[in-house]
Amino acid sequence: MKLEIKGFDKLIKLGNLFPSVAEKHINTAISRSLVRILGKEKQEAPVRTGNLRDNWSINMGRFKGILKSNAKYSSAVEYGTKFQRSNPFFKRSLNNAESGIEKEIAKAINDTIKQIIK
């Protein structure tokens, strides 16, 4: 699933120019963005047993983060099967979190610039 975030290209440029300064701010923005998406997912996921809603993991790396469903059937719910209509709960979660993610990216850009000009 693809999500385009305004300002992310600027943040990447700052990261390339000033990696030691930008890394903390970029990783914080990524982490906070994934938590935002996860919060929206908990609102959007269909609940029968709670397994789909509650079984997620976040893995952080340098300049990257992964939000992963550990429920084996999450893609069948998201995209549907020939026996079940799709329920794109994760896509809705991304769309609902988009403006908050853009704010996190803008904050990371501003915080990086402030630290560089100190």
Q: For 96-108, how does the pLDDT look when each residue is reduced to its tens digit (9 = 90+)?
A: 999 999 999 889 8
pLDDT for 8 beyond 90: no
- Supply 44's token pair: 């959007």
Residues 6+ apart with CB under 8 A from 106: 7
Separation CA 22–CA 29 (nearest Å)? 11
Residues 6+ apart with CB under 8 A from 10: 109
- pTM comes to 0.82
pLDDT for 1 beyond 70: no
Task: Considering only residues 1 and 82, tell me which one the structure prediction assigns the higher pLDDT.
Answer: 82
Ranges of each domain in the chain:
24-117
